[in-house]
Amino acid sequence: MTLAGTYYPPDSSRAVVVSLTLDDNRTLTLSGEGVARVDALRECQLSEPLGRMVRHFMLPDGARVEVEDLDALAVWEREHGRRTGLHLVHLLESRWRWVATAAVFLLLFMLAGYIWGLPLAARHLAFKMPPQVGRVASEQTVALITRMLSFEDSEIPEKRRAAITQEFQKMAAAMHPGSPWQYRLKFFKASLPNAFALPDGLVCITDELIKEAGDDKEIYGVLAHEIMHVREQHGMRSVLQNSAVFLIWTLMTGDVSTLAGMGSALPAALAQAGYSRGFEQEADIGAADYMISRGWGVKPLCDILDRIDPEHMHLGGAEEAISTHPLTKKRIAFLQEREAASKAAAAGP
């Protein structure tokens, strides 16, 4: 390969236009006015590329040859495997548009991972979690909630509790056949109407919610919703999703000390985990479909949602309470739409 160059002899300010030949015998040959020399290439140092700056060969005796045809030089370097780490700098400088595009794609990729990958990973993990972990965590969580909300023993008559439990078991068997969890219903006397589910199938309901219900189907609507939370493992998934954010944060900040308390923090995390709207909707869909299949329709669930402030329906973040009312109206509208769609489908084309 022959390139045009400018030759600067050692200890001289003279510049000579030369033609520079790089051949496969690894020699560098210069020829120009008053210049004729051959040097072994391994004794010549080629300056690193830096943007579109002119590059030069440093010859063994201190002479210098500048080359302006950077592209031809790059081709020659590639062909002869002369690549160094500094080429990356060159790439970044000369291809900044390409680099910027790559950076944007990387950010989008990370964002997608956060939005879709994290919930998927949490879902996968929640269903893979050994049942023992769910059982122990659920027991500890109930103990914690009982203390936190000063729950007392239920005052609902035994016979009535047995009847509700019997219906609950029938629903759980229908809604979650082959469940790895043992569904149980526990009654508590509390200050507010409340119902919540724990990952291992333990569903808790307060006397106040039972008293508030105008019809038993309203209780069963709420229980159907809670069974869905167990079936889809929303509690464990919420905690895992939240702790995954926490994990990423730890990796980014390098503060490992915050990770130490994770294992023992599970019950507290479960007690405080509010469900996302997506999870609430999934639970509402399952409850609506079940209620429709029983011929009850969604009205009982809508009625009790409308009557009880859902802020008290689940333990969870206080922020949810702020947007409670519009959220309830939306949920009721959603349940009704689901029923209308189901009726339309049943009526056929």
Residue closer to Zn ion, measured from CB, 69 or 320: 320
Residues forming the site for Zn ion (CB under 5 A):
280, 283
Residue closer to Zn ion, measured from CB, 205 or 283: 283
Residue closer to Zn ion, measured from CB, 232 or 280: 280
What minimum distance in Å lies between the beta carbon of 281 and Zn ion? 9
What minimum distance in Å lies between the beta carbon of 107 and Zn ion? 34
What minimum distance in Å lies between the beta carbon of 322 and Zn ion? 17
| CA gyration radius, the chain | 36
Residue closer to Zn ion, measured from CB, 90 or 314: 314
What minimum distance in Å lies between the beta carbon of 162 and Zn ion? 25
What minimum distance in Å lies between the beta carbon of 312 and Zn ion? 12
What minimum distance in Å lies between the beta carbon of 237 and Zn ion? 13
What minimum distance in Å lies between the beta carbon of 298 and Zn ion? 15
Residue closer to Zn ion, measured from CB, 7 or 279: 279
What minimum distance in Å lies between the beta carbon of 280 and Zn ion? 5
Q: Which CB contacts under 8 angstroms, 24+ apart, belong to 79-84? A: 82/46, 84/48
Residue closer to Zn ion, measured from CB, 175 or 283: 283
Secondary structure of the chain as H, E, C letters: CEEEEEEECCCCCCCEEEEEEECCCCEEEEEECCEEEEEEHHHCEECCCCCCCCEEEECCCCCEEEECCHHHHHHHHHHCCCCCCHHHHHHHHHCHHHHHHHHHHHHHHHHHHHHHHHHHHHHHHHHHCCHHHHHHHHHHHHHHHHHHCCCEECCCCHHHHHHHHHHHHHHHHHHCCCCCCCCEEEEEECCCCCEEECCCCEEEEEHHHHHHCCCHHHHHHHHHHHHHHHHCCHHHHHHHHHHHHHHHHHHHHCCHHHHCCCHHHHHHHHHHCCCCHHHHHHHHHHHHHHHHHCCCCCHHHHHHHHHCCHHHCCCCCCHHHHCHHHHHHHHHHHHHHHHHHHHHHHHCC
Kind of pairing between the strands at 27-32 and 64-67: unpaired
Residue closer to Zn ion, measured from CB, 209 or 283: 283
Residue closer to Zn ion, measured from CB, 269 or 283: 283
